[in-house]
Amino acid sequence: MAEVAGRRAPTIRLRRLASELRRLRVEAKLTVEKVTKETGLDQSSLYRIERALNKPQRRTVITLLQLYQVEKDRQTTLLGWLKESGQTGWFQVHEPFLPEQYQAYVAFEHEAEALKNYESLFIPGLLQTAEYARAVIVDADLGRSLDADAADSRVDVRMQRQSVFTRPVPMQLHAVVDEAALRREVGSAQIMRAQLERLAHACALPNVRLQVVPFKAGAHPGMPGSFVIMDFADPFDAPLVYVDGIAGDAFLETGEDVARFARTFDLIAQAALSPAQSKKMIQEAAKAA
C-alpha cells in the first residue's frame, strides 16, 4: 500500500493521532516489520505517520486501526482527529511566507494551555511590540533577505499569536529572559523604550510570570540558547519542546527530553530575579533607553 502524504506542517491533532497510532501498535505487540507485512505499507511511510511527518490517508488509518483491533467508537474518534488535522487555523493565509517548522510551532502554540519560554537575546515573541518584532525579523534575518510582503506577513503572524492571551481561557506564560535582551537596542532607542514599557505592563497580567536573569548571576544553564516548553490541556497531547537556532529548529517530545528541558528551565528561573525585582529592572531599563 503506497502512502501519498502532504508536506504541510503538522497540527496538534495530527500529532495527537500519530502518537495514538504509535501507542496502539505497541499495545497490540506488533513490530513495524509485522505491520508492514500485514498491510503492505512500507516502513518509511509508517515511520512518518507515527511521527506526524505525513498526514495519512483515511483508508490507511482504518487499515491500521482494524489491524490493532481498536473498538468502533475509538476508531470514530481517531478518524475525527484525522479529519480535523487539516485545519491549520488563522495563519493559513500567511503560509507562503512561513517556513514549515514555524507553521507547526504556531499551530502548537495556539493550542497550548501553558508555555515556558527562556530567551537569551530577544524579548519573547508573545510579548513583543509590532515595531520591535519588525526590527528583529528584518535585521536578524540570518541573511535570508525577506521582501516587504514576507516581512509584513511575519510581523502580522507574531502579533496574531498574542491572541492566546485574550481567548476565554488565557494561556499561562512563564517567561525568563536574560538581561542582555533588555540592554541590547533593537531598532532604535524609541522602539526599545516602547518595548520595555510593554514588557513592564505584561508583568501585571495575572496569567504572565516574567523573570530576568541579571548579568551578576554569572554563568547559568540557559546560556547555550533559547527554548520553549509547551503543555496542553488534553491528556492525549504530551508536552513538547521547541528549540530554535542558526543551525535550524527542532521539536523534541520524548519524556526524557521534556524532563531535561523542564529541569533546565527551573534552574534558570532559580538564577533569575523574582517577578517584582524583574519588573523593577525592566522599568529602570525603559527609563535609561
pLDDT per position as a tens digit, 98-108 = 777 787 788 88
**Which stretch, 10-19, 191-200, 245-254, has highest mean pLDDT?**
191-200
Q: What is the Cα–Cα distance from 147 to 115, expressed in whole angstroms?
A: 31
Query: Percent of the chain beyond pLDDT 70?
Result: 89
**What integer pLDDT is reported at residue 253 of this predicted model?**
83
Q: Are 54 and 273 in contact (CB under 8 A)?
A: no
Q: What is the Cα–Cα distance from 261 to 268, expressed in whole angstroms?
A: 10
For residue 106, count other CB atoms closer than 10 A to its CB: 21
Question: What CATH number has the domain spanning 93-288?
Answer: 3.30.870
> What would the mean pLDDT of 229-243 be, rounded to a whole number?
89
Give the position of cell 506542517: 9
For the domain made up of 12-84, the CATH class stated in words is mainly alpha
pLDDT per position as a tens digit, 180-191 = 999 999 999 999
> What would the mean pLDDT of 71-82 be, rounded to a whole number?
89
**What integer pLDDT is reported at residue 15 of this predicted model?**
81
**What integer pLDDT is reported at residue 10 of this predicted model?**
59
**What integer pLDDT is reported at residue 93 of this predicted model?**
53
**What integer pLDDT is reported at residue 286 of this predicted model?**
96
For residues 240 and 147, the model is more confident at 240
Q: Are 173 and 209 in contact (CB under 8 A)?
A: yes
33: confidence class by pLDDT, cuts 50, 70, 90? very high
> What would the mean pLDDT of 195-205 be, rounded to a whole number?
96
pLDDT at 51 over 90: no
From the list 175, 160, 185, the residue with the least C-alpha distance to 222 is 175
pLDDT per position as a tens digit, 85-99 = 765 555 555 565 677
- Reduce the DSSP state of residue 140 to 3 states and report it: coil
pLDDT at 5 over 70: no
Region of poorest pLDDT, from 11-15, 50-54, 87-91, 188-192: 87-91
> What would the mean pLDDT of 2-22 be, rounded to a whole number?
66
Q: Where are the domains of the chain?
A: 12-84, 93-288
Task: For 64-88, give the DSSP string.
Answer: HHHHTT--HHHHHHHHHHHHHTT--
